[in-house]
Structure 1
Amino acid sequence: MKRTLIWLACAGFVAACSQSTPPPAEKAPAPAPVAAAPTLPPLTSGVTKENMDTTARAQDDFYRYVNGHWLDTFQIPDDKPMSGAFVKLDDEAKANIRAIIEETAKAADSTDKDKQKIADLYASFMDEAALESAGLKPLEAEFARIDALKDKKEIPALVAHFLQIGATAPFGGFVHQDNKDSTKYVVDLQQDGLGLPDRDYYLENDAKLKQIREAYAKFIEKMLAMSGDKAAAASAKAMLAFETELARVQWTKVQLRDPIKGYNKETFGDLAKLAPGYDWKSFLVAAGIEGKTDYVIVGQPSYMTGMDKILTKTPLATLKTYFRWQLLRNYAKYLNKDFVDARFAFYGTELRGVPADQPRWKRGVGLTEGIIGEAVGKLYVAKHFPPESKARMDQLVKNLLAAYKQSIDTLDWMSPETKKAAQEKLAKFMPKIGYPDKWRDYSALEIKKDDLVGNVMRGNAFEYQRNIDKLGKPVDRAEWGMTPQTVNAYYNPELNEIVFPAAILQPPFFDAKADDAVNYGGIGAVIGHEISHGFDDQGSQYDGDGNLRDWWTAADHEKFAAKTKALVAQYAAFEPVPGYHLNGELTLGENIADNSGLAIAYKAYKISLGGKPAPTPDDFSGDQRLYIGWAQAWQAKVRDKFAIELIKSDPHSLPVDRVLGTLSNQTPFYDAFGVKEGDKMYVAPEKRVTIW
């Protein structure tokens, strides 16, 4: 549900003081001039008219009406799988961070150790000459560890080590709150082990996915050959077969959305029954889990059983090659140019259709954020997020929460009993805006200016240990799951929190110089989206304290299911790429959030007007600007190959479908733009899905 806002304030400067004419000499001196009251520039409409195609009818294709000229003239940059509003903001954030890092690096004898670590980590990535000279040497110790395996009983300890250094293994683990006891931290074990985005890439036989499988096998062969495997072709064939076996026993993305089925509390003894051939004792000790807790949560029990059987029948030599391959795949981007290029040729060009890799500086910024992100965020916030922005955002969030509070009592699908519980949950929502109150401590993280691979491994190990150390301690409710410089937002049901990092609080989501309406359609709908996750098909299963508990009546569930069933069918009809329809079940939660968020943003906008008419900074009404703001926020172009990946693995609908699907269910949109029967945007009133 993490995925992936400022109030209606205007920015302006105080006008210069007015000048007073000197008094005549014969009169007494006049009082000293008094400064004029501050004046603010008039608000802009917030509508980017140059992006519009007004030859398109808003009633037939609103996405094109708002973004058509941009769609016709904008070319996706060669280094991107998609581009648009989110990507533009991310690019701007990365450029700002680059400047911060480079300024930090120039500061001589810095006494700020975090700043020094940021500079050294970035420098280790940018030193291409050193990486060319090193070749595969940075991975030699890890390869030796794999080669030294004498028995399959040693594999669990190796898996634990892979989790610590951030390399893919047949299953993964992470620390979070216990879904049924939000006062405790627990370890979750989850299916993993694949090099392609989803199990469908291994198991479905349409032409495009088969082509990607064939290219993946060639990619494996090339990388293994580059690493010295003299039987690379045979090894690649074995790797694809092994990963396909893992894919067959994995749960689908739709199955993974069910938090009840995914909550399986297992004692350490239960693990032995689940996968009897796996040495869990060895794993738990090596992973640092034993002694800190006496149970874990297994996300997909049937997968663990299936994985155990696969590991049992697979020769040790094949498993050693598999771990060697996964280590190489995960770390190739930190090696010399040949490995970087080979990895990008598959994951960038073949899989996503991207012609060129990102500039090295941008990849270096991404790495630095990934390893020491909050230290970077602290510098970013100081320079790019003024305190007044946080204050205005606080108010906007309050407005959206107030709109939800009013709406709960009017819902036709929620009983009085459940409405009371919903109000209680809403009252416990915890907004986090801009940046954390307490910054992360990186004093235990070791960074060396001349050791990129070592820095990445130590960085992953630092984060792993930081999370393991939470076990047995009180839950830190102030912790953030995203850095301030992340262009995104999220709802976390276990903390019942909505989080809006600083970097998303910019146009087209929020424009401090624009009229309220377009901001409610942009960032207001994003706020409403995240709040609604607390009441969607997943989030509604958690109470206000973050515990997985059913607080709905049976009748509520039935009424809500009827609405969501219609939403599933509605979005499943979208076909962003010929032959590839959206998965209405996979995208259900996000579609609920989009529809609910925009509906609530509209109500909050009306509340903000206080009964007064909307301002008219242009030819559009307030309601029209709100819906234009929604379409502007999701402006995007996506390469077909990447669109297929998103359709298969992402719980969000494609941007164009997020806009059109959501608007077709908003009755005020019909009124604002005069949408009538016969128009392509028209959906009969009885078929519109209205949740909030």
Structure 2
Amino acid sequence: MMTKPLLSYVVTAAVLAGCAGSHRTAPATTATTAPTTAGPILPGVGLDVADLDTTVSPCEDFFHYSGGNWLRNNPIPAYASSWGPRNLLGDRTQALLKKILEDAAANTRVSRGSNLQKVGDYYASGMDSVGLDRAGLKYLQPELRRIDAIISRDALRRELAHQQTLGTGAYFRAGVSPDRKNSSVYAVNLGQGGLSMPDRDYYLKDDARSTTVRTAYVEYLTTVFELLGNASATAQQKAANVLALETRLARASKSRVELRDPYANYNKIPLAEFDRAYPALGLGAMLKQNGLGAAQEVIVGQPAFFQELNTVLQTTPLAEQKNYLTWQLVSSVTSALPQAYSDAAFRFQQVQSGTKQQPTRWKRMLAATDGTLGEAFGQLYVDKAFSPEAKQKALDMLANIKASMAEHIRSNTWMSSATKTEALKKLNALRVKIGYPDKWKDYSALNITRESYLQNVLAARQWNYARNVEKYGQPIDRTEWGMTPPTINAYYSPAMNEIVFPAGYLQPPFFDPKADDAVNYGAIGGVMGHEMTHAFDDQGRQYDSEGNLRDWWTKADGEEFTKRAAVVGQQYSAFSPLDSVYVNGKLTMGENLADFAGLTIVYDALQKQLQQKYGRQPRPRYDGFTPEQRFFLSWAQLRRTNIRPEALRQQILTDPHSPGQYRTIGPLMNMPQFYDAFGCQPGQKMVRTAEDRAKIW
């Protein structure tokens, strides 16, 4: 998982940085890797020192020291559930994207079938809220009638196949993706699904929070069924049917922690055997109906779930299943229906996230257009926001970080030579994608008009499904991207063994070619190290250099890694952001390991960069801070976050990322390099004893 325009400030040597022994002392001398002679003090770019709270010691609470003033001065807007630098960069990016979309929508002379026409018409149809209200359910009626016409189990199975093409989320997930044990071929993968609340625990637990969300969910269900024309009592009964059915699916679903085990969630079986084990799904006929008739095997993620689903399909009355399918369809397209539907959806979202106000429609339609046609107008965004020079600088940084990772592997004291050889092989095979695809998506088969936004949404889903199905039996497409160019995020793909950084992320304050190396390495460098070391976290390490799920570790090395990773899990499980609410160290394990390992790798990459640039010459102290201090401040300032209690509780339950506060301090508390940079002493809160520190790479 997972913003702010660059703010530059010219400051003097009087800038204060709290250190050990005092809350108001000058910046500490740098770590032992730096020259002993202080360098010149220069105005800096990329860090806003006014955001610091120097009444707090960096060695006691670096999260508030590095951004306490910013946290006080940046309350969460009514339309958001949390607020941080990523949101501010998002606002700036949205302003540019809005201009691109509005220009496309206003261009009535554009040639029919062009990407520009499709982008403009999709956005324009979504912005026509008056037209949506006027149309009512007109364009949804054909789909509603299909569900209403179900009179047999066979007809039900045919409709399930159709709903798969519409991406409604009914019952389970299915799609074509690389075979995790043979990454050179595509496979049909099936996984648990069918739930509308954010997590299965909301269906199963009776604590106050779960009960509140569940009550709001029933209200949402009832409202939608009333909007569809049902009397109040009938709507309540249909809502109860849906909740009961989804609760059965929830009981059979694995937890988020259980889903993190790639071996336990990989079960390849012949299609004929699947049909014998789960006959009510009629999967063979379903795949044939949807263009996958050539498939002879399927990979089942959670067999116990499909066993229960088979029973649900066999025993639940057709009328109740039709209610469920109607709900899944309608709730998946509320933004394309009259305002009352999206208002009902937002009221439920409010209970989950604490958001006070629904985002303006243009922001919602911008996000929808990006999700559907992101590479079509992403090309225009890249031309305006991402220079070849910026791309090259990012590639240079990644090369330095990759070299640092290789050195850490070679110098590792607990890993055998056999495992090191495989680890280096995987690192050398790692693919890097920066900015935008070399090969853009072809949207020529997708028909978009201004007649109906709902028709456009459903057409785009069917086009996307067909595009996915066409991959089966074809060579693996390694040019494909899982994010659009304007996305402010990055990812690592185990099956592809690649790290991907869209142009949207490579913008200030995450990345600024004008900033000093320490700031860039602490900001986007920290992200680069994070994504790179995902290849070696508790999940990523189970895939080899070709992206295959294969154990390439010696038994002793695997056990040692698990033991060291468990220390990180224990540390994060002790963090409590709210009363009686603790971070789930097992759920967040992969992201925590990537934060910690990545920052360690990147710190050494920065030292090599500084050594190459300055040698033993005094290094400049921008804004009065040493490079090491600016590195850690840059890391921290990009993770400062204000978040509503409701959203924080949901994040703890559902998100594999720890809250920003603990992403900031968790890695630093294990790093002697941080202690040196700020002169921290044993006994201070940011300092762990040598016995308590986690160390992997």
Coarse TM-score class (shorter-chain normalised) = over 0.9
Residues 1:55 and 2:58 aligned together: no
Q: Distance in 1 between matches of 2:227 and 2:666?
A: 47
Match of 2:280 in 1: 277
Deviation at 1:113, TM superposition (A): 0.7
- Contact residue 135 and residue 336 of structure 1 kept, 8 A: yes
- Range moving further from structure 2, 514-523 or 274-283: 274-283
Match of 2:322 in 1: 320
Q: Distance in 2 between matches of 1:681 and 1:345?
A: 40
Deviation at 1:65, TM superposition (A): 0.3
Q: Distance in 2 between matches of 1:647 and 1:174?
A: 28
Match of 2:541 in 1: 540
Match of 1:105 in 2: 105
Match of 1:383 in 2: 384
Match of 1:300 in 2: 302
1:676 maps to a residue whose letter is Q
CA gap of 1:45–1:366, structure 2 versus 1, over 3 A, is closer
Map 1:393-408 → 2, pairs under 5 A: 393-408=394-409
- Contact residue 43 and residue 514 of structure 1 kept, 8 A: no
Match of 2:420 in 1: 419
Unaligned 5+ residue runs, structure 1? 5-9, 11-41
Deviation at 1:376, TM superposition (A): 1.4
1:455 maps to a residue whose letter is N
Deviation at 1:618, TM superposition (A): 2.2
> Which string of whole-angstrom CA distances, capped at 9 and with x for unpartnered residues, describes residues 532-555 of structure 1?
011111111111111111110000
> Which string of whole-angstrom CA distances, capped at 9 and with x for unpartnered residues, describes residues 6-57 of structure 1?
xxxx9xxxxxxxxxxxxxxxxxxxxxxxxxxxxxxx7725321111111111
Map 1:345-364 → 2, pairs under 5 A: 345-347=347-349, 349-364=350-365
Identity of aligned residues (%): 42
2:75 maps to a residue whose letter is Q
> Which string of whole-angstrom CA distances, capped at 9 and with x for unpartnered residues, describes residues 51-90 of structure 1?
1111111111100001101111211111111110112222
> Which string of whole-angstrom CA distances, capped at 9 and with x for unpartnered residues, describes residues 352-401 of structure 1?
11111111111111111111110011111011111111111110110100
Q: Distance in 2 between matches of 1:225 and 1:107?
A: 40
> Which string of whole-angstrom CA distances, capped at 9 and with x for unpartnered residues, describes residues 251-274 of structure 1?
110110111111111211121233
- Range moving further from structure 2, 469-478 or 230-239: 230-239
Match of 1:665 in 2: 670
Q: Distance in 1 between matches of 2:686 and 2:262?
A: 35
> Which string of whole-angstrom CA distances, capped at 9 and with x for unpartnered residues, describes residues 404-459 of structure 1?
11110111231111001111111111100000011110000000112101100010
CA gap of 1:575–1:274, structure 2 versus 1, over 3 A, is farther
Match of 1:250 in 2: 253
* Secondary structure at 2:188 match in 1: strand
* Secondary structure at 1:544 match in 2: coil
Q: Distance in 2 between matches of 1:196 and 1:568?
A: 27
> Which string of whole-angstrom CA distances, capped at 9 and with x for unpartnered residues, describes residues 241-288 of structure 1?
111111000011011011111111121112123313332232112222
- Contact residue 434 and residue 502 of structure 1 kept, 8 A: yes
Match of 2:644 in 1: 639
Match of 2:90 in 1: 90
Deviation at 1:93, TM superposition (A): 1.6
2:317 maps to a residue whose letter is P
Match of 1:333 in 2: 335
- Contact residue 528 and residue 598 of structure 1 kept, 8 A: yes
2:287 maps to a residue whose letter is L
2:626 maps to a residue whose letter is S
* Secondary structure at 2:479 match in 1: coil
> Which string of whole-angstrom CA distances, capped at 9 and with x for unpartnered residues, describes residues 298-337 of structure 1?
1111110111112222111100000111111111121111
Match of 1:239 in 2: 242
Q: Distance in 1 between matches of 2:159 and 2:85?
A: 42
- Contact residue 272 and residue 296 of structure 2 kept, 8 A: no
- Contact residue 79 and residue 355 of structure 2 kept, 8 A: yes
Match of 2:35 in 1: none
Map 1:162-311 → 2, pairs under 5 A: 162-230=163-231, 231-291=234-294, 293-311=295-313
Q: CA RMSD in A?
A: 1.5
* Secondary structure at 1:687 match in 2: coil
- Contact residue 78 and residue 354 of structure 1 kept, 8 A: yes
Superposed structure 1 runs of 4+ greater than 6 Å apart: none
Match of 1:28 in 2: none
- Range moving further from structure 2, 236-245 or 481-490: 236-245
Match of 1:616 in 2: 621
- Contact residue 137 and residue 337 of structure 2 kept, 8 A: yes
Match of 1:23 in 2: none
1:88 maps to a residue whose letter is L
* Secondary structure at 1:422 match in 2: helix
- Contact residue 43 and residue 623 of structure 2 kept, 8 A: no
Q: Distance in 2 between matches of 1:452 and 1:191?
A: 30
* Secondary structure at 1:213 match in 2: helix
* Secondary structure at 1:518 match in 2: helix
Q: Distance in 2 between matches of 1:519 and 1:254?
A: 33
- Range moving further from structure 2, 580-589 or 304-313: 304-313
2:492 maps to a residue whose letter is Y
* Secondary structure at 2:280 match in 1: coil
Match of 1:32 in 2: none
Match of 2:44 in 1: 44
Q: Distance in 2 between matches of 1:294 and 1:201?
A: 37
Q: Distance in 2 between matches of 1:270 and 1:652?
A: 38
* Secondary structure at 2:628 match in 1: helix
- Contact residue 391 and residue 434 of structure 2 kept, 8 A: yes
Match of 1:39 in 2: none
Q: Distance in 1 between matches of 2:263 and 2:242?
A: 33
Match of 1:519 in 2: 520
Q: Distance in 1 between matches of 2:578 and 2:453?
A: 39
* Secondary structure at 1:277 match in 2: helix
Match of 2:21 in 1: none
- Contact residue 175 and residue 188 of structure 2 kept, 8 A: yes
> Which string of whole-angstrom CA distances, capped at 9 and with x for unpartnered residues, describes residues 206-251 of structure 1?
1011111011111101110110123011111121111111100001
* Secondary structure at 1:187 match in 2: strand
Q: Distance in 1 between matches of 2:444 and 2:578?
A: 48
Map 1:495-644 → 2, pairs under 5 A: 495-610=496-611, 611-612=615-616, 613-644=618-649
TM-score (structure 2 length as normaliser): 0.92
Q: Distance in 1 between matches of 2:45 and 2:369?
A: 38
- Contact residue 61 and residue 685 of structure 2 kept, 8 A: yes
**How many residue pairs get matched?**
653
- Contact residue 525 and residue 594 of structure 1 kept, 8 A: yes
Map 1:112-151 → 2, pairs under 5 A: 113-151=114-152
Deviation at 1:180, TM superposition (A): 1.1
* Secondary structure at 1:486 match in 2: coil
Q: Distance in 2 between matches of 1:513 and 1:578?
A: 43
Unaligned 5+ residue runs, structure 2? 3-7, 9-41
Residues 1:457 and 2:458 aligned together: yes
